[in-house]
Structure 1
């Protein structure tokens, strides 16, 4: 094709001229025919054989230049400014390759600012794959779309219904959906108030806070002026006012059905029934259910670390009852496939793992011979581990967390005694600093960043398992006591999700336990959650969010009737 393009540029052996608004483009019919069925029909059916000059309507000279250059080179200089225009032109003239290039580009450019315009574009210029991606993006970033996207206010009532009735709409709070409806109606109140009851019926009222329902929704003009909205609200409020703990089961399904959760807590691997396991369970706070995942870990492992980064779960180090691992495996949540990545420089079980600024850090642990004070970090882009400064003392069976771009590690075991020391790492200077000691020695401790503090929970003090917890304030370099867990435990999973601090499983002193509890700093109280399906200790927990296939991981109560139109269904609707 470079030969033909050279002839075109020299205007040699050209047998056609494409004219657009006075601009003329010399070309070869056979090249343009190969590019698009439109040109083939134009040259062979819609004109006489001796015709050389063709006037093409509905396209600018600059876009026609791009089309012809694409026909000869297969390359198109796509930008944010021209991609949608070229998409329309490629669709109109049936230039399949250019259309796919535009779709691929627009998909990569999806953002809260443009996802609705791209979705609406595919209403007119149909491309099911791009349409599917655009609506998925809007559903996954709904709050940002409502706040930042001017096109949100221009949606039709039917388009807004399609979004807010979807079970795949991801919001942390259902109040976000209600307030979005109010914002949309307020933009053109006289025209849109007739849709109030239709839109209100798509809001999952039973998943809103009872206080918000009573103080905000109940007093809104929307409810006061619409008998239909008032009736729907009462269907939800009456069971709440009757003090029913399971009031959602008394509310009609359309108002009480849960949506896909914005995040899930994964419990990965661990030690159960005297041996390590590869099982992964996922916890959904909205349904208070644990679900077994089909994508079990690549190997049996316990005393490892698990973290979530850029759509993947990484399992780091660990122990299979025979060998201490240096290996690292990555689970791609989108494809549900495992891949082994570069191993660490050292074998590490009882390892502490966290993420800081896109890097995975692995600290301390036990290599089968000694407790380690060494540390290293992993960069996913280069697939390389790099040694960093060593900690002040060896630590296995410690735990760590990230707060304000600093890494904190607490407690552990140095081979002689359980530790109450803690230290902080600054990635910018590659330096460790000892911080104030905890009030208790804690090995097998759970450490998490929560409410601008570092929480150290449970563990083993050398004598017994602990139920106590304490919180570190970096501003004052002090620890303070917080309420104790109901269950004493060590070697458990710990994570923060939905503004709650979760403690999962562990060893209770006699046996492994399945118990799950969470701490709410607003009430300063620990609550019980549903137990895991199996008892296990030496597990690792992490919170995942963002994958478009969240339904593959969520509770069956969320997925049994979830529906997003498939590409085939979309095509039938068109």
Structure 2
């Protein structure tokens, strides 16, 4: 068979460019065909004009235009030290350079001046590796001088991510007012709003004579809605600097009136402060607490779910075992309210009015003002700065019709208008100045087909009979204008549209579920644990962990809880994270 000849043989010598560069460097070192001297401080470096022109727009303009240097054999580069110039020339002929802390700044300045952009970026990468909370503000100023965008972005990222450490530096105290305002406006700032306020106070006190007039401008950058009312109205409102500003005191009084009116509608002047979103670093995270664990005993565990690692973290344990307590969160604090207090040693139990709180910042349980009336198997819900508790079973073992309200502004409980029809295990949610109580069961364990509505601002109840409601031991959760009722001895999930006053059918659960818990994080519904009826109508405990996306009307498994759990709390708690949020 005849050989097959190929007409075309594409060949590329991959080593030619590096070999050519190495040979040109040898020619330079031996002064062969060099035609220009780069000079600085009586130091002369022979080079090839064509190589310099090819490597930099700066030299191209110098040697290929009508500049004097285009015909000169010596070019004086003032302001560049000999060791820096040697490093740049070596870089041009070899593509390599050794960057150290001693040389990086003059090298970066020279590279910027001579338009060696990749060398300038290499210096920037070197400086980015040296970034720390102590020097990041200095690096930002340096990046402005050197016009280095990449260094500035990384340094600014560190400044907002490590705000607590950066705020303690001398550089921070020397920031100008516009610079400080720029930081306080940043959504990425990794700090709670209380710390933002304390930081601006420290900045003013560093130079009170010239800075105290800035208190109002700075105060408007604090997102007051996310500050605990006790801190706002007792600490901030009484601060001498704040009191010295009429505008600041007017803002606080407007906030106070808004909260007392139990309304989300505010004046045009206050609206930008009230509607400002949480900072990106204040992210909601799921916390699961209490309940019956593995059908053995009431759990003292509190778990936090890390969405990024998809792992559970153990928090501090509850001080005691509480059966059928109520769980609610407000102002980034978890409240465990009431319950049946169990003594494992004696086997005795007592109905509790106690309230325990947990802050993720301290990871310690504390006691708060107790309820007016002990109860367990009750419901709790938060709205603005209030916690409402209703129903349940009291000391007399009867279903409670009473409603209590906890005012976090004054740290006190008060009795409100009682529920018209006392029910156990209803689905409860708060939306648009109302508390909705769906279904539940009466003292004879018969389903109650009612929607009972409490009007918060008027302290009045109304009710509506409906055949659609038939839920017992089902949680409810709010996403925008819809209240989702999840299961309740059924697979059914329905959404009540509060604006249209109608129910909408949603994708069913996989099993008939009850005694589970549900909460909303980032506009998605998370359902944990509970009990379910299997194919043989036998009741089993569940470690199920699922997520419902209302936009797709679809369920997705999130894995499982560390153990089987029911009658527990599932809540969104806000924590400050210095890790960037996923896209």
TM-score by length of structure 1 reads 0.50
Establish whether residue 280 from structure 1 lines up as the match of residue 302 from structure 2.
Answer: yes
Q: What displacement does 1:363 show?
A: 0.8
Establish whether residue 123 from structure 1 lines up as the match of residue 123 from structure 2.
Answer: no
User: 1:140·1:546 contact (CA, 8 Å) conserved in 2?
Assistant: no
Q: Which has the larger radius of gyration?
A: 2
What does the per-residue CA deviation read over 1:28-52, in whole Å, with 9 as the maximum and x for residues that have no partner? xxxxxxxxxxxxxxxxxxxxxxxxx
What does the per-residue CA deviation read over 1:529-555, in whole Å, with 9 as the maximum and x for residues that have no partner? 12110111000111011446999xx9x
Partner of 1:506: 530
Partner of 2:568: 539
What does the per-residue CA deviation read over 1:339-379, in whole Å, with 9 as the maximum and x for residues that have no partner? 21121122221111111120100011111511112110011
What does the per-residue CA deviation read over 1:289-310, in whole Å, with 9 as the maximum and x for residues that have no partner? 22222x1222212322212212
Partner of 2:329: 308
Q: What displacement does 1:454 show?
A: 1.1
Alignment of 1:446-461 (within 5 A): 446-459=475-488
Residue number among 448, 461, 465 corresponding to 1:432 in the alignment: 461
Establish whether residue 331 from structure 1 lines up as the match of residue 362 from structure 2.
Answer: no
Partner of 1:267: 288
CA distance in 2, matches of 1:345, 1:144: 32
User: 1:302·1:539 contact (CA, 8 Å) conserved in 2?
Assistant: no
Label 1:545 to 1:136 Cα distance change in 2 as closer, same or farther (>3 A): farther
Q: What displacement does 1:438 show?
A: 5.6
User: 1:311·1:547 contact (CA, 8 Å) conserved in 2?
Assistant: no
Establish whether residue 475 from structure 1 lines up as the match of residue 499 from structure 2.
Answer: yes
User: 1:289·1:530 contact (CA, 8 Å) conserved in 2?
Assistant: no
Residue number among 483, 488, 492 corresponding to 2:516 in the alignment: 492
CA distance in 2, matches of 1:315, 1:305: 6
Q: What displacement does 1:140 show?
A: 5.0
What does the per-residue CA deviation read over 1:397-449, in whole Å, with 9 as the maximum and x for residues that have no partner? 22311112221121222211122322111111101111453624211111111
Label 1:524 to 1:548 Cα distance change in 2 as closer, same or farther (>3 A): closer
User: 2:283·2:577 contact (CA, 8 Å) conserved in 1?
Assistant: no
CA distance in 2, matches of 1:261, 1:357: 18
Establish whether residue 350 from structure 1 lines up as the match of residue 372 from structure 2.
Answer: no
User: 1:261·1:286 contact (CA, 8 Å) conserved in 2?
Assistant: no
Partner of 2:471: 442
Which secondary structure state, in structure 2, belongs to the residue aligned with residue 442 of structure 1?
Answer: coil
Label 1:436 to 1:448 Cα distance change in 2 as closer, same or farther (>3 A): farther
Partner of 1:378: 406
Label 1:438 to 1:336 Cα distance change in 2 as closer, same or farther (>3 A): farther
User: 1:264·1:544 contact (CA, 8 Å) conserved in 2?
Assistant: yes
Which secondary structure state, in structure 1, belongs to the residue aligned with residue 531 of structure 2?
Answer: coil
Label 1:528 to 1:297 Cα distance change in 2 as closer, same or farther (>3 A): same
Which secondary structure state, in structure 2, belongs to the residue aligned with residue 530 of structure 1?
Answer: strand
Which secondary structure state, in structure 1, belongs to the residue aligned with residue 440 of structure 2?
Answer: coil
Tell which has more relative contact order, 1 or 2 (C-alpha 8 A, sep 6+). Answer: 1
Q: What displacement does 1:476 show?
A: 2.8
Alignment of 1:73-472 (within 5 A): 122-123=170-171, 125=173, 141=189, 262-272=283-293, 273-293=295-315, 295-320=316-341, 322-368=349-395, 369-416=397-444, 417-435=446-464, 437=466, 439-459=468-488, 465-472=489-496
CA distance in 1, matches of 2:579, 2:288: 16
Q: What displacement does 1:120 show?
A: 11
Q: What displacement does 1:274 show?
A: 2.6
Q: What displacement does 1:143 show?
A: 13
CA distance in 1, matches of 2:486, 2:447: 14
Label 1:338 to 1:121 Cα distance change in 2 as closer, same or farther (>3 A): closer
CA distance in 1, matches of 2:389, 2:518: 17
Q: What displacement does 1:494 show?
A: 0.8
Label 1:347 to 1:137 Cα distance change in 2 as closer, same or farther (>3 A): farther
Q: What displacement does 1:119 show?
A: 5.4
Q: Which runs of 5+ in 2 are unaligned?
A: 1-159, 194-279, 343-348, 534-538
Label 1:135 to 1:334 Cα distance change in 2 as closer, same or farther (>3 A): farther
Which secondary structure state, in structure 1, belongs to the residue aligned with residue 572 of structure 2?
Answer: strand
Label 1:438 to 1:297 Cα distance change in 2 as closer, same or farther (>3 A): farther
CA distance in 1, matches of 2:281, 2:312: 14
Computed over aligned residues only, the root mean square deviation of the Cα atoms, in angstroms, reads 3.5
Partner of 2:556: 527
